[in-house]
Structure 1
Amino acid sequence: PKVRVIWQVLLVGGLGLWLGQLISLGMFAGWARHGLPWSQGSGLLILGAMALLVPWTTRRQLYCHHACPHGAAQELLGGFRRLHWRLPASWHSLLGKLPVITLGMAFLGALLWPRWSPNQIEPFDAWILGAAVAVPLVLAVVGLLSSIFIPQAYCKYGCPTGALLKFVRSNNQLETWSRRDYAALGLLCVGALIVFGRPLVTPAEATAAEGLPITEMHGGAFGTTWTVKIRGTGFAADLLKRDIESEVNRIESSLSHWRKTSVTSDFNQLESTQPMGINQELAKLVAFTQKLSEATDGAYDITVAPLVSAWGYGPAGSNLPSPSPEKISQLLRQVGWEKLTLDLPALTLRKSDERLSLDLGSVLQGYADDRIAALLHQQGHHDFLIEVGGELLASGSWHVGIEDPFNPRGLLEKVVLKDQALSPSGLYRAKRLAEGKSISLGPPP
């Protein structure tokens, strides 16, 4: 019917391409780990309620058949009946088991590797235009093209989210156990063994309930502060602090563009497009930032130094007028991560525009965390928390708070870090007044 076709087009264009709102295993895993997004994800909450609650009363899976943009796109592409293939019954039976198998593997994977996202094995992230990564994009394209020849191909033979939603749908009014119910029970038992068989991290463990004293050290670098907390005794704190200060100062002196003698400053001052020899440390950092720039389509860019400086956050100082639109347009022509050419084997760095300059401020504090951690491990410490300018790195279990930018005396959230890193630092402290207006660091690149 025409009405259904119109509805499917609206689903694909509106809920899919425009809003990118689709139910997925990654969404459910995120809710399980971090709670429901009441304030920011109301649309997805409504879809989730539709998918999980409606089947209990109607015996129909409303979301899959009437509200999924990916399913709607498949149905539209499957309208060419002359192109349809008929799969042998044996193939249909075999391929039909794949969604449940994938669901089980995703369930166990999410328990075994808490940082892994099931979004990596589903195509739904491809609907978020400009942010799709390789695997979801390939899955989306293959699934949609397959639906031209095999109606609803991905829904039938590839969708683990659909397999999950089938567990809340009954085919009849009599609630009898089926093989899928026994399979689900078995997965839940295995999951319970995984969860309860591993040591849990509790706030009590993270706050030195073991009775071990905490040694705290402080210092300054990168225009901000650093703090190191170490649990335990039996070490010379003064000597260790001296080693940490030495390492932090070495990083700042070698890599910060605020230091005129650093290799970064040497590169920024080079008015040439010829390759310049650099040290291995800078080469590795630039290689890392280039990967970030490529992964974000240039949203992350270490060549924004001229723009940052123009807003008063560079070595030139803060007593500068706000740049005009013409000035910003001019500076943008000097910016671009693709204008950098790194030769790792030869340890050289070249810029295609001699005005190009680097600002490594976005990675140096996290890099300092890594270097301090390596130093502490070398000296036999394995239970510590490092904070450099808001960038956190924990070895062992530590309870940390995320500051509320609108209420510096309050906390937005308390979390437990165990052998993890966290970057909750923001821009709300980096402010200055210009022409009567408060400006925060971070102009768009």
Structure 2
Amino acid sequence: MRLLPSVAFVALLSGCLFDKEPEVVRLSGETMGTTFNVTAIGDDLDENKLAISVEKTLAEVNAKMSNWDPKSEVSEFSASASTDPMSVSDEFALVIAAANDVHEKSGGTFDVTLGPLIELWGFGPRKPEDPVPSDAEIETALSGVGQSRLLTLDTNAGTLAKSDASVGINLSAIAKGYGIDAVAESLRDAGIEDYLVEIGGDLVAQGQNEKGEAWRIGIEKPETGSQTIQLIVSLNDRGMASSGDYKNFFEHDGVRYSHIIDPTTGRPITHRTTSVTVLAENAMMADAWATAMLSLGQEKGLKLAEEHKLAVYFISRDVTGGDEAYITAHSTAFKDALNSN
């Protein structure tokens, strides 16, 4: 559904130090098919205790949200042949409710039932000789896509139902963000007020780094094989996620097909926006909106961002300058967010 976000960490500039050097705990590992990094700052930190807490939190998230685990809550819901309402955990209901919100506000360009189109277009084990899907195949796949039509969430009853037994849910564009927020909550529960949590490039930052400054994060220029920084963002008490189309695509008969599929058309995006970064109140919403905004593209996405006061930064290929020339645009809320830090 989407590329791992292109967010790079930037070296911190020198600044005023705390009166007492804070303790810094850095944890890293693998989760959700990618890597995670946690930096926690405070006094009298217990690294072993924090590591156990983070691992436990991530295990719990995967047990509910992982599409790779056949025993996870989302996998069991997708595999069920029943259309009766099924009881779901509070955490699962929270993520679906957030997905429904972005789905509605984005005009359907964010959709957790996109699986049939992802499989049809072969973003997975695809061979160069595999044919591009026909119009008829796309229409057939589209009949199994559309979460507002196919899924019914009852938050009061704590149930989720699907109108067609074959419907499945793919949380790849929102689960990482939720996992980041869950880890951040576990750090706050431990009394930690200064931290940065990152999974696969998506992240949330709170407080200050070890130099007593705001966390400074780099947005990567959308060039394959490059880690050039396009823009540096100071981040505090916000989630941040980026989505790009420049590392995951295939070419067939000279045509480039992005892995970002528009659920409203059933086809890969064709506009020139190549990277989108979203700042939000948490990583879950930043994660979901980054996918929706890349699907929409700069022209439509910027209008929607202004309507909903979303902090969004777009990088698009310059039509007059070739594939390696870029133009940028940002919403008012994104500019305001930069100025507030």
- TM, length-normalised to structure 2: 0.64
Q: Which AA in structure 1 matches 2:231? A: E
Q: What does residue 410 of structure 1 align with? A: 228
Residue 329 in structure 1 maps to residue 329 in structure 2: no
Within-5 A mapping of 1:186-335 = 209-210=17-18, 211-212=21-22, 214-313=24-123, 317-319=124-126, 321=130, 322-335=132-145
**Per-residue deviation at 1:340?**
0.9
CA contact (8 A) 1:400 1:417 kept: yes
Residue 376 in structure 1 maps to residue 187 in structure 2: yes
SS at match of 1:334: coil
CA contact (8 A) 2:88 2:159 kept: yes
**How has the CA–CA distance of structure 1 residues 319 and 350 changed in structure 2, closer, same or farther, with 3 Å as cutoff?**
same
- Determine which of 201, 219, 230 is the counterpart of 1:390: 201
**How has the CA–CA distance of structure 1 residues 392 and 287 changed in structure 2, closer, same or farther, with 3 Å as cutoff?**
same
- Determine which of 426, 431, 438 is the counterpart of 2:244: 426
Cα distance in 1, alignment partners of residues 154 and 220 from structure 2: 41
Q: Which AA in structure 1 matches 2:72? A: S
Residue 361 in structure 1 maps to residue 172 in structure 2: yes
Deviations 1:132-173 (A, max 9, x none): xxxxxxxxxxxxxxxxxxxxxxxxxxxxxxxxxxxxxxxxxx
The runs of 5 or more residues in structure 2 that have no matched partner are 1-11, 208-213, 264-341
**Per-residue deviation at 1:349?**
1.3
Cα distance in 2, alignment partners of residues 282 and 373 from structure 1: 18
SS at match of 2:231: strand
Q: What does residue 135 of structure 1 align with? A: none
Cα distance in 1, alignment partners of residues 184 and 51 from structure 2: 13
CA contact (8 A) 2:42 2:193 kept: no
CA contact (8 A) 1:390 1:425 kept: no
Cα distance in 1, alignment partners of residues 44 and 257 from structure 2: 47
Q: How many residue pairs align between the two structures?
A: 239
Cα distance in 2, alignment partners of residues 428 and 220 from structure 1: 24
**How has the CA–CA distance of structure 1 residues 262 and 416 changed in structure 2, closer, same or farther, with 3 Å as cutoff?**
same
Q: Which AA in structure 2 matches 1:243? A: S
Greater CA drift, 399-408 or 369-378: 399-408
SS at match of 1:329: helix
Q: Which AA in structure 1 matches 2:261? A: P
Greater CA drift, 379-388 or 211-220: 211-220
**Per-residue deviation at 1:365?**
0.9
CA contact (8 A) 2:69 2:75 kept: yes
Cα distance in 2, alignment partners of residues 433 and 242 from structure 1: 44
Cα distance in 2, alignment partners of residues 403 and 293 from structure 1: 27
Q: Which AA in structure 2 matches 1:294? A: E
Cα distance in 1, alignment partners of residues 251 and 56 from structure 2: 34
Cα distance in 1, alignment partners of residues 16 and 206 from structure 2: 13
The structure carrying a bigger strand percent of its residues is 2
Q: What does residue 21 of structure 1 align with? A: none
Cα distance in 2, alignment partners of residues 405 and 213 from structure 1: 35
**Per-residue deviation at 1:429?**
3.5
Within-5 A mapping of 1:5-154 = none
Q: What does residue 175 of structure 1 align with? A: none
What value does the CA root-mean-square deviation take over the aligned residues?
A: 2.5
Q: Which AA in structure 1 matches 2:48? A: D
**How has the CA–CA distance of structure 1 residues 435 and 385 changed in structure 2, closer, same or farther, with 3 Å as cutoff?**
farther
The runs of 5 or more residues in structure 1 that have no matched partner are 1-202
SS at match of 1:362: coil
SS at match of 1:257: coil
Q: Which AA in structure 2 matches 1:291? A: D
Cα distance in 1, alignment partners of residues 255 and 36 from structure 2: 30
**How has the CA–CA distance of structure 1 residues 252 and 429 changed in structure 2, closer, same or farther, with 3 Å as cutoff?**
farther
**How has the CA–CA distance of structure 1 residues 215 and 435 changed in structure 2, closer, same or farther, with 3 Å as cutoff?**
farther
Q: Which AA in structure 1 matches 2:87? A: G
Q: Which AA in structure 2 matches 1:423? A: A
**How has the CA–CA distance of structure 1 residues 349 and 435 changed in structure 2, closer, same or farther, with 3 Å as cutoff?**
farther
The structure carrying a bigger helix percent of its residues is 1
- TM, length-normalised to structure 1: 0.50
